[in-house]
Amino acid sequence: MKSKRFASADKKVCVACGSCVLVCPKQAITVVKGCYANVDKDLCVGCGRCAGICPAGCISVKERGAGDEKEVV
Amino acid sequence: MKKKWYDYLWIYEIVYFSLGFFNILFAWLGMIDFLLPLCLAVFGGNKWFCNRLCGRGQLYTKLGSQMKCSRNKSTPKWMYSTWFRYGFLLFFLAMFGNMVFQTYLVGAGARSLREAIKLFWTFRIPWGWTYTAGTVPDWVAQYSFGFYSLMLTSLLLGFVVMGLYKPRTWCTFCPMGTMTQGICKLRAGKDKEE
């Protein structure tokens, strides 16, 4: 069963430092071609650790389901 | 997750800065931190250096997250805005260029070697005990003092923003990070076109 929440990174703001990758307990985040962090929605459990460590504040935790876009954190 | 050898590079960072207190010539080792990320970005198209190898980033995480030396507050928006990131990169490159020019002047004999480091591009601190005159050509020593100044200044700036904001806030405007991400974006754009 998938978690209720998932993290999502803003490509435009991300500085691709990779601190989120290191704290993710599910290895759900990758830095794509050195440009931005990408969260694998299927692996993400929405714990929010990445959002807490991101120095650019570009990760938000959203609710799954209809629209997928409702921000909760 | 099992730790890899590169998870301990924060120790290298401490060793590097400590060596500069004993023999300034070790400052040249810092060139690895300059050239390796660039090579990885240009030839590999990635930020693997920032993501895994950066000892400085690891040190900020260790102190900021694990040892709780960071307030862990949000970084101000302007600090990770594009104009500030690229502006700081330009400023940093200009200062680097000036340092190289000073080295050239010493090499050409137009200026004498100054056994001092300059912190925050302003404060000159005598650092003569770390160098015995005549050990290497003057320009080699001058570059060491200049380069170490740059490295120490940026480390201290990083500590300040680590304390005030997130552990790795420095990474948002780190000139190397901005430069390598810029290169990666250019490369990725090119790949798309092809």
Is residue B180 less than 8 Å (CB to CB) from chain A? yes
Range of the domain at A22: 5-63
B74 interaction partners in chain A (CB closer than 8 Å) = 57
The residues that bridge with B126 in the sheet, in sequence order, are B116
What average pLDDT does the segment B66-72 reach?
A: 94
Q: Which of A21, A35, A52 is facing B185, going by the closest CB pair?
A: A35
Residue A49 lies in a domain: yes
Residue A38 lies in a domain: yes
The ipTM value here is 0.88
What average pLDDT does the segment B132-146 reach?
A: 95
pLDDT of residue A12: 95
For residue B2, what are the contacts with CB-CB under 8 A and spacing of at least 6?
none
Residues B28-63: tens digit of each pLDDT: 999 999 999 999 999 999 999 999 999 999 999 999
pLDDT of residue B57: 96
Residues A19-72: tens digit of each pLDDT: 999 999 999 999 999 999 999 999 999 999 999 999 999 999 999 875 555 666
What average pLDDT does the segment B134-160 reach?
A: 96
Question: Are A27 and B188 a contacting pair at CB < 8 A?
Answer: no
Q: Report whether B60 contacts B167 (CB < 8 A).
A: yes
Higher pLDDT, B193 or B126: B126
- Our count of domains for chain A comes to 1
What average pLDDT does the segment B84-110 reach?
A: 97
pLDDT of residue B189: 86
Does the structure show a pLDDT above 70 at B107? yes
Task: Choose the mutation target among A26, A31, A32, A60 for the interface with B, i.e. most B CBs under 10 Å.
Answer: A31
- Residue B81, classed as helix, strand or coil, is coil
Quote the CA–CA distance of B71 and B191 in Å, as a whole number. 40
Residues B152-172: tens digit of each pLDDT: 999 999 999 999 999 999 999
Does the structure show a pLDDT above 90 at A2? no
pLDDT of residue A3: 87
pLDDT of residue A71: 66
What average pLDDT does the segment B168-181 reach?
A: 97
pLDDT of residue A66: 52
Residue A26 lies in a domain: yes
Quote the CA–CA distance of A29 and A44 in Å, as a whole number. 8
Instruction: Looking at the complex, report in whole angstroms how far the Cα of residue B111 sits from the nearest Cα belonging to chain A.
Output: 40
Residue A40 lies in a domain: yes
What average pLDDT does the segment B118-132 reach?
A: 95
For residue B80, what are the contacts with CB-CB under 8 A and spacing of at least 6?
A13, A15, A55, A56, A57, B172, B173
The residues that bridge with A62 in the sheet, in sequence order, are A6, A71
Residue A72 lies in a domain: no
Amino acid in the structure at residue A15 = V
- CATH classification at residue A33: 3.30.70.20
Does the structure show a pLDDT above 70 at B194? no
Percent of chain B with pLDDT over 70: 98
Is residue B165 less than 8 Å (CB to CB) from chain A? yes
Percent of chain B with pLDDT over 90: 94
pLDDT of residue A73: 57
